[in-house]
Amino acid sequence: MDIKEKDNTHISILVVGAGPAGLASAIAARSANKDAEIVVLEKGESVGNHNLSGAVLETASLIRLLDEARPDWKTIKGADSVLGRVVKEDDVHFLLGKELAVNISFLMKICKKLGLSFGEICNDGNTIVSTSRLTRLLGEIALSLGIEIYTGFGVKEILYDQDNRKAHGVKLVEQGLDKEGDPQPNYIEGEAITADIIILAEGTDGLVTEDFAVKAGLSRKNDQVFSVGVKEIIRVSKQQYALFGDNRVVHTMGYPLWLPIFGPAIFGGGFAYSCGENKIAVGIISGADWKYYNFNPQKALRDFKQHTLIKEFIDGGEIIEAGVKMIPEGGYYAVPRYLQPGTDGKKMNTVGYKNVMIVGDSAGFVNMNKIKGLHNAIESGALAGNAAIKCLKDPEKAADEYTGRLESNFVMDEMKSARNLRAIVARFGQAIGFPLSLFGNLFPRFAMEADYKAMTSRKFTFDTPGEFDKATFVALAGTEHREEQPSHLSISDPDLCINKCDPLFHRACITFCPAGVYEKIGIETRPANPSNCVHCKTCQRKCPFDNIRWTVPEGNGGPRYKQM
C-alpha cells in the first residue's frame, strides 16, 4: 500500500529507515503493545536493498528480540539459512607485504583470556550473516506483526517547531521533477507525515538525523569520522570453497593499507568470510582519514585480493555482487546528544531530544574494539522501541527514557570501553597507536577532526596496475535511479575545484568515488553520473574542501543489494 492511501498521515510511532536498527525498533514496539500504530519509511525499492555489512553478528540481542515478538520465527522459510552459519574457524593475520602473512590469532585469543581489548576481535561462536538478507527477514517478521512498511519513500527533512522546540513529523522527497527541477505530469509533492514519536534509523551519516541535530541543537564532543568498506561476493569452485572452509572468518591488518616504518599508513584491514553455496565475501575497510590524494578503496581491495593468503581461494572466481558503504567510527564521543541546559552531572545528555530518538549507525554505535555495530544497532533499536511504547502518553519523555535505558545497557558499556581506540591510532599512527590503545581508557579524550581535513598531496602506490572498473562495480551493486530527476549531488563552489582542488589534489573525488559519479568536463568538476550513485556518501565526507553535498534522491533509487 502507498502511504498516501492511508486514511490519515498522523502516526503514533514513525521509524525512518527499514534497516536492522529501524526494524528492531518497530518489532520491539509491537511486542510491547499490540495496538500501537507503527509505520516504517524506507527509501530503497525494497527492504534490504540498501543494507550492507561484513557481517559477523553477535546474535543474543536479535534472538531475544524475535523470541519475544514472534516465538515461532525459526520456522519461517529461510530463517535457518540467514542465521545458520556459526563461526568455527577464526583467523587474524598480519600481512607484511603482498606475499607474507603472519597468523596472530593466538595472540588475539591470549588477549581475550586476559580481558584485553584486542581480544574482542575474536569471533568464535558468532554468526556470519548477509545484512541485506537479515534485514529482509526482519521486514517479513515486522509485516507479519501488523507493522506498516512503506518502501520507495525518501525523507527530505525533519519537521521541527522552533517555537515549541519539538519535532512533529517528516517531509517526504518530491517525485516527478525533471532535471531542471520543474514538475512533470507525474509530479507528486513531498507530503508531510506527522507523528507523536520519531525514531531515526537511517544508517551512517543520515541526512534527516543531521538535519534534526542542527534544528534541535544536538552536538558531538568529537567530529564523527568514518571508514569506507568495499565488499564483493565471489563464487568460487567447490575445491576452493572446501579449502577455505564453510564456517570461517579471516581478518587482516597491514598490507595493503599500512606497513610499519616505511608506510603506507591508512587505518583499516581486510576480511574474508564463508557465505555458503561456494561463495566467499571478500572486502577491505579503509579509514576515511587517508591522506593520499589518489587513494581509492576499490583499488586497495584489488591489491588485497592478490595477496597469497587470499588469492588461492578466489582466483578465477566470479564476482556476483559488490557494494560499498561508510562506517561511523568516531565512537562514544561522536554520538550526537542534546546537552541539557545547565548540565550539572545529574541530568542526562540525551541521544535525541524530546520525542525523537537516534539508533544504530545513525547514532554511531560501532564498537571499534570489536569492529562491529550490527548487534548494537539491533539492541539500540529494541531499546528505542520499548521506550516509545512507555512514553506514548507523554512523547516528549521518549529521548530521556531511551537514553536512560542505553546508559544502563551493554551498548554504552561497549562504546565507553572503545572510546579512545580510533582517536589514539589517528594521533599516534598504527605502529604506536595500536599498542597504546590497550591502555586507551587511561587516556583523556583526544579531539578528532573531520576526515576531509586529512587530505595531502602525498601519493599512494598500488601494486596492481590499471584503473578499477567502476562501471562493472555499479552494475554488480544493481544501482538505478530515474534518469530525469534532478541531481541529488551538488558542488557548492565550482571555483574551488578549479583553483584549489585541481592543483593540490588532482580532483580527488573523481578518484575515490566508487561509482564514477564525478568527471572533469571542460575545466569544471561535475557530478556527471548521479544515476550511478551507490549512496555511500563518501564524497560528502572526503571532499578535501567539504565542497560536495549529498541529498536524498527520489525513493526507489540506489543500490539493490541482495546478498550484502
* DSSP codes of every residue in 270-320: EEEEEEETTEEEEEEEEETT--BTT--HHHHHHHHHTSHHHHHHHTT-EEE
Query: Average pLDDT, stretch 416-434?
Result: 92
- Confidence band, pLDDT 50/70/90 cuts, at residue 346: low
Q: Across residues 293-312, what is the average pLDDT?
A: 98
Q: Is 200 helix (H, G, I), strand (E, B) or coil?
A: strand
Cite the beta strand spans of 277-314 per DSSP E: 279-287
H helices of 70-104, in order, are 79-82
- Taking the C-alpha atoms of residue 560 and residue 564, their distance in angstroms, rounded to an integer, is 10
Both ends of the chain: CA-CA distance in Å? 27
Segment 397-419 shows an average pLDDT of 97
Measured between alpha carbons, how far is 201 from 379 in angstroms, rounded to an integer? 12
Query: Distance between CA atoms of 207 and 224, rounded to whole angstroms?
Result: 14
CA pair distance 15, 170, nearest whole angstrom? 10
Q: Tell me how far apart the alpha carbons of residues 45 and 530 are, in angstroms, rounded to a whole number.
A: 17
Query: At residue 8, does pLDDT exceed 70?
Result: no
Q: Is the peptide bond before 264 cis (omega within 30 degrees of 0)?
A: yes
pLDDT number for residue 260: 86
Residue 224 has pLDDT above 70, yes or no: yes
Helix (H, G, I), strand (E, B) or coil at 307: coil
Q: Which CATH architecture has domain 3-81+131-223+331-419?
A: 3-Layer(bba) Sandwich (3.50)
pLDDT score of 444: 87
Cβ-count burial 297-319 (b if 16+ within 10 Å, e if not):
bbbbbbbbbbbebbeebbeebee
User: What's the pLDDT tens digit per position in 204-220?
Assistant: 999 999 999 999 999 99
- Please write the tens of the pLDDT for every residue from 505-543: 999 999 999 999 999 999 999 999 999 999 999 999 999
**CA 246 to CA 433: how far, in whole Å?**
34
pLDDT score for 334: 97
In the chain, the amino acid numbered 121 is I
Q: Which pLDDT value is given to residue 472?
A: 98
pLDDT, tens digit, for every residue of 303-342? 999 999 999 999 999 999 999 999 999 999 999 999 876 5
Mean pLDDT of all residues in 399-425: 96
Pairing of strands 10-16, 38-42: parallel
> Domain boundaries in the chain?
3-81+131-223+331-419, 89-124+226-325, 469-550
- The predicted model gives 463-492 an average pLDDT of 97
Instruction: Tell me the mean pLDDT in the region 396-417.
Output: 98
Q: What is the pLDDT of residue 5?
A: 57
In the predicted structure, residue 47 carries a pLDDT above the cut 80? yes
Q: Residue 87 belongs to what H/E stretch?
A: none
pLDDT in tens, 230-263: 999 999 999 999 999 999 999 999 999 999 888 8
pLDDT beyond 90 at 3: no
pLDDT > 80? residue 345: no
Class of the CATH domain delimited by 89-124+226-325: alpha beta
Helix (H, G, I), strand (E, B) or coil at 512: helix
**Alpha-carbon distance 447 to 331, whole Å?**
12
Q: Beta-carbon neighbour count of residue 510 at 10 Å?
A: 17
Assign a CATH topology to domain 469-550: Alpha-Beta Plaits (3.30.70)
Mean pLDDT of the chain: 96
- 437 versus 100: which is more confidently predicted? 100
User: For residues 241 and 282, is the Cβ–Cβ distance under 8 A?
Assistant: no
Cα gap 487→546, rounded to integer Å: 18
Q: Are 133 and 563 in contact (CB under 8 A)?
A: yes
> What average pLDDT does this structure show over 441-467?
93
Give yes or no for residue 176 having a pLDDT over 90: yes
**Would you state the pLDDT for residue 6?**
54
Which residue reads 519523555 in cell numbers? 397
pLDDT for 384: 99
pLDDT at 430: 87
CB-based contact 281:54 (threshold 8 Å): yes
Instruction: Please determine, for residue 4, whether its predicted confidence score (pLDDT) is greater than 90.
Output: no
- What is the rounded CA–CA span in Å between residue 336 and residue 388? 19
